[in-house]
Chains A and B, each alone.
Chain A
Amino acid sequence: MSLFSQEVPISWYLLLSAVLFSLGVVGFLIKRNLITVFMSIELMLNAVNLSFVTFAHEWHAVKGQIFVFFVMMVAAAEAAVGLAIIIAVFRARATLAVDRIDLMKL
């Protein structure tokens, strides 16, 4: 039996998903560049997608797969809007540093 014929245990997938998600969270929290923050969000979304697919496979439930499509679709829309906002912010403020976009602060 080769290595690949054996089924990968489900916990590995979930662990990968958790690691990816945590990376996303940490990236979101520590990075200053708005684009990197944005990419971190995408990372979190896809980590969640991975666990959706994992559970769908495990439970033989197709609903999870469908949810992934929804999430991807929303992510695409969000990416379009988000990038537009980033461009608008850059034009207005000439910076993408999150800390300096603080007009609402007292």
Chain B
Amino acid sequence: MTGPLYIWLIPLFPFAGFLLNGILGSRLPKWMVTTVALLTPLASLGIVLNAARIVFGNGHAFDSLPYIETCPMGWINVGTLHIDFSFVLDQLSLVMLLVVTGVGFLIHIYSVGYMSHDDGYARYFGFLNLFLFFMTVLVLAGNALLMFVGWEGVGLASYLLIGFYFQKDSAANAGKKAFIVNRIGDFGFLIGMFLLLANFGTLTFSEIATKLGQDPGWQGGVVTVIALCLLLGATGKSAQLPLYIWLPDAMEGPTPVSALIHAATMVTAGVYMIARTHVLFDHSPFALGVVAIVGAATALFAATIGLVQNDIKRVLAYSTISQLGYMFLGCGVAAYSAAIFHLMTHAFFKALLFLAAGSVIHAIGGEQDLRKMGGLRKKLPFTFWTMTAAVLAIAGFYPFAGFFSKDAILYAAYLHGPGGKVLWFVGLVTALLTAFYMFRLWYLTFMGEPRSPELHPHESPWTMLGPLLILALLSIGGGWIGIERFAAFLSPSTGARAAESAIPHLELILGGAAVAVALLGWLIADRLYRQKPTQPAQMAEALPTAHRLLANKYYVDEFYGATFVKPLLGFSKYLLGWVVDVGVLGGLAWLLGGIAMFAGAILQRWQSGNLRSYAAWLAAGAAAVLLFVLVPWNAVWPASMELIWKVARH
């Protein structure tokens, strides 16, 4: 490695931006806010690109990864517990950093156009920079505790940005929901960390891997428990079953936030965490199986809900959950590099989908209902073409980015033991559903005749279209690097790719199947939403139960509300609120207050306000002290007792 890379500056720049815009932003002119907000992520991106240039450009630098920068003062030193404040740059974190700072910077640019009319302009960019700070800390962290700092921090930034329009009740509630549901996951993460400390005595990822590698006795048992705890954390952050419910509501935030935090970067933190701690999962086949099942189930489950949603952003939200399920599926079949590959391509095309949707929403004055759109292709040609690239990418058409990464995951699933075929089939069905609902969205938005002629859409400014163009290029070409080269690059961090199949051309066949179902999904969408636009309503009428079930999202929110939220609220309100708070604590406070009042009422007489009585007490006190000091009590006391004794005897 040629000299230090200063990777500690990567999080620091956005943090400086947060401080500047957060504290002074409302008093600065707008162009200065914009400059600060854009330059700080750009500086971070520059450092990341410089590191990437050195890593990719120099064969020897490649070998010297991981590259570690540690704070010389240490961080936590208590007894036998030593935790360093260290940032680690290895293949995995480098890829993730490129995605986070790259996509993050593009979305910052986009936001300049999208938020230009908003009153909270400086506040918005302050929070966005804060998010980037915590996200880079999360990615660079060399141990689980520092990762947890970033983990909580991105949760905070997510909460602040979901509730950005806090005057709206729904936005404030959505923020709270996201925060509280994530607490459940964080509980798992914390327990996992405690177990790691108790069993390994360290939280540093590399040391855990070393200790696991040294002793073959680490298999199942406590490792499974740790892995499942970490998985619980990951399901919270990455919106997997059963904790996915916060993500659809998170769409209350501004659309660029949905693109950056709730599609491209933060929600993939769970996948990143599993890839980071993959040695634990490798030592527990059971935990891996759970990861795969959670992923496959979420992918299918969310995709079915996505079929009937009418809010453009909610369709994309369920699609995000579904795609994250793919990544978990990839992790669950130990194809970590494939999962990270899909994470990367997904960041490109899903950010693009959200930004294009934002461009549509911006153009038609804030309308998000698909049923009121239509025919926007001619009015918004640029948005239309970039969005088309993203739709083709997510549906998995060759040679768009989504094809390569999705295919890599499905291929790995197919090869993964006896249950792998089932996982592969679920993934394939999900691909069909994905293609269908994405093209449904595409047709409803851009094709046909305008359903709301009173709207006068206008194409968005160039600050918004520029990022769309770059992301469209990445959505098309982002997968061309190919899973082989990508996996080979990542292998020092995530382990080697699973063995090749013995069946010739299997990868080709599976890829062909994936494209075929994507095409089938397109054809169905074409038939239902272009050729016979009345048919979807008829189908909904023909299957009322199924449609109601999907439209109401399987009543999961209602179920959670009835089983967890209501009892908990009742418990808090009646037992904790009335009995404990009002009864016990309130009673105690009244009791203490009463004692104080009573004592005060007696002692009050002392405070007569009469100067001479005070002086008399003072003199009496001084006399008492004098008496105490001057009289030789040691001699007087026995003598006087003797005297009393004598008197008493007589």
B612 at the interface (CB under 8 A from A): yes
Contacts of B641 in A (CB 8 A): none
B76 at the interface (CB under 8 A from A): no
Interface segment, A3-11, A69-77, A94-102?
A94-102
Please pick, from B608, B609, B616, the residue contacting A29 in the complex, using a CB distance under 8 A.
Answer: B616
A79 at the interface (CB under 8 A from B): no
- With contacts A25-B619, A29-B619 taken as known, whether A105 is within 8 angstroms of B612 at the C-beta atoms is no
The distance in angstroms between the C-alpha atoms of A42 and B615, with both chains bound, is 15
A104 at the interface (CB under 8 A from B): yes
Question: Do A28 and B615 have beta carbons less than 8 Å apart?
Answer: yes
Contacts of A37 in B (CB 8 A): 611
B604 at the interface (CB under 8 A from A): yes
B563 at the interface (CB under 8 A from A): no
Question: Do A29 and B615 have beta carbons less than 8 Å apart?
Answer: yes
Question: Do B608 and A101 have beta carbons less than 8 Å apart?
Answer: no
Nearest-neighbour CB distance to chain B for A39, whole angstroms, equals 14
B77 at the interface (CB under 8 A from A): no
The distance in angstroms between the C-alpha atoms of A5 and B616, with both chains bound, is 42
Interface residues of A in 17-50 (CB under 8 A from B): 25, 28-30, 37
B610 at the interface (CB under 8 A from A): yes
- Which A-chain residue is minimally distant from B623 (CB atoms)? A25
A106 at the interface (CB under 8 A from B): yes
The distance in angstroms between the C-alpha atoms of A25 and B604, with both chains bound, is 25
The distance in angstroms between the C-alpha atoms of A7 and B619, with both chains bound, is 34
The distance in angstroms between the C-alpha atoms of A28 and B611, with both chains bound, is 10
The distance in angstroms between the C-alpha atoms of A2 and B254, with both chains bound, is 110
The distance in angstroms between the C-alpha atoms of A105 and B604, with both chains bound, is 10
Question: Do A106 and B609 have beta carbons less than 8 Å apart?
Answer: yes
Contacts of B619 in A (CB 8 A): 25, 29
Interface residues of B in 603-644 (CB under 8 A from A): 604, 607-612, 615-616, 619
Please pick, from A30, A98, A106, the residue contacting B611 in the complex, using a CB distance under 8 A.
Answer: A98
The distance in angstroms between the C-alpha atoms of A99 and B609, with both chains bound, is 9
Question: Do B609 and A102 have beta carbons less than 8 Å apart?
Answer: yes
Contacts of B616 in A (CB 8 A): 29
- With contacts A25-B619, A29-B619 taken as known, whether A105 is within 8 angstroms of B609 at the C-beta atoms is yes
Nearest-neighbour CB distance to chain A for B467, whole angstroms, equals 72
The distance in angstroms between the C-alpha atoms of A98 and B607, with both chains bound, is 15
Contacts of A101 in B (CB 8 A): 611
Question: Do B604 and A106 have beta carbons less than 8 Å apart?
Answer: yes
Question: Do A99 and B610 have beta carbons less than 8 Å apart?
Answer: yes
Nearest-neighbour CB distance to chain B for A93, whole angstroms, equals 14
Q: How many residues of B contact A (CB 8 A)?
A: 10
Nearest-neighbour CB distance to chain B for A64, whole angstroms, equals 20
- Which A-chain residue is minimally distant from B609 (CB atoms)? A105
Contacts of A25 in B (CB 8 A): 619
Contacts of A28 in B (CB 8 A): 612, 615
The distance in angstroms between the C-alpha atoms of A102 and B612, with both chains bound, is 11
Contacts of B608 in A (CB 8 A): 105
The distance in angstroms between the C-alpha atoms of A102 and B607, with both chains bound, is 11
Question: Do B609 and A104 have beta carbons less than 8 Å apart?
Answer: yes
Question: Do B604 and A102 have beta carbons less than 8 Å apart?
Answer: no
The distance in angstroms between the C-alpha atoms of A37 and B611, with both chains bound, is 11
Contacts of A104 in B (CB 8 A): 609
The distance in angstroms between the C-alpha atoms of A91 and B24, with both chains bound, is 54
Contacts of A29 in B (CB 8 A): 612, 615-616, 619
- Which B-chain residue is minimally distant from A30 (CB atoms)? B612
Interface residues of B in 303-344 (CB under 8 A from A): none
Contact with B along A78-100 (1 / 0, CB 8 A): 00000000000000000000110
- With contacts A25-B619, A29-B619 taken as known, whether A98 is within 8 angstroms of B604 at the C-beta atoms is no
- Which B-chain residue is minimally distant from A31 (CB atoms)? B612
Question: Do A102 and B615 have beta carbons less than 8 Å apart?
Answer: no
Contacts of B604 in A (CB 8 A): 106
Nearest-neighbour CB distance to chain B for A50, whole angstroms, equals 18
- Which A-chain residue is minimally distant from B604 (CB atoms)? A106
Contacts of B609 in A (CB 8 A): 102, 104-106
The distance in angstroms between the C-alpha atoms of A37 and B608, with both chains bound, is 19
The distance in angstroms between the C-alpha atoms of A35 and B376, with both chains bound, is 97
The distance in angstroms between the C-alpha atoms of A106 and B603, with both chains bound, is 13
The distance in angstroms between the C-alpha atoms of A58 and B609, with both chains bound, is 43
The distance in angstroms between the C-alpha atoms of A35 and B569, with both chains bound, is 70
Contact with A along B590-613 (1 / 0, CB 8 A): 000000000000001001111110
The distance in angstroms between the C-alpha atoms of A98 and B616, with both chains bound, is 14
The distance in angstroms between the C-alpha atoms of A4 and B582, with both chains bound, is 84
The distance in angstroms between the C-alpha atoms of A30 and B610, with both chains bound, is 12
Nearest-neighbour CB distance to chain B for A41, whole angstroms, equals 10
Contact with B along A50-65 (1 / 0, CB 8 A): 0000000000000000
Nearest-neighbour CB distance to chain B for A16, whole angstroms, equals 19
Nearest-neighbour CB distance to chain A for B592, whole angstroms, equals 22
- Which B-chain residue is minimally distant from A32 (CB atoms)? B612
* 4 extra A-B contacts, CB within 8 A, seeds A30-B612, A99-B612, A106-B604: A29-B616, A98-B612, A99-B610, A105-B608
Q: Which residues of B contact A (CB under 8 A)?
A: 604, 607-612, 615-616, 619
24 contacting pairs across A/B (C-beta < 8 A): A25-B619, A28-B612, A28-B615, A29-B612, A29-B615, A29-B616, A29-B619, A30-B612, A37-B611, A98-B611, A98-B612, A99-B610, A99-B611, A99-B612, A101-B611, A102-B609, A102-B610, A104-B609, A105-B608, A105-B609, A105-B610, A106-B604, A106-B607, A106-B609
Q: Which residues of A contact B (CB under 8 A)?
A: 25, 28-30, 37, 98-99, 101-102, 104-106
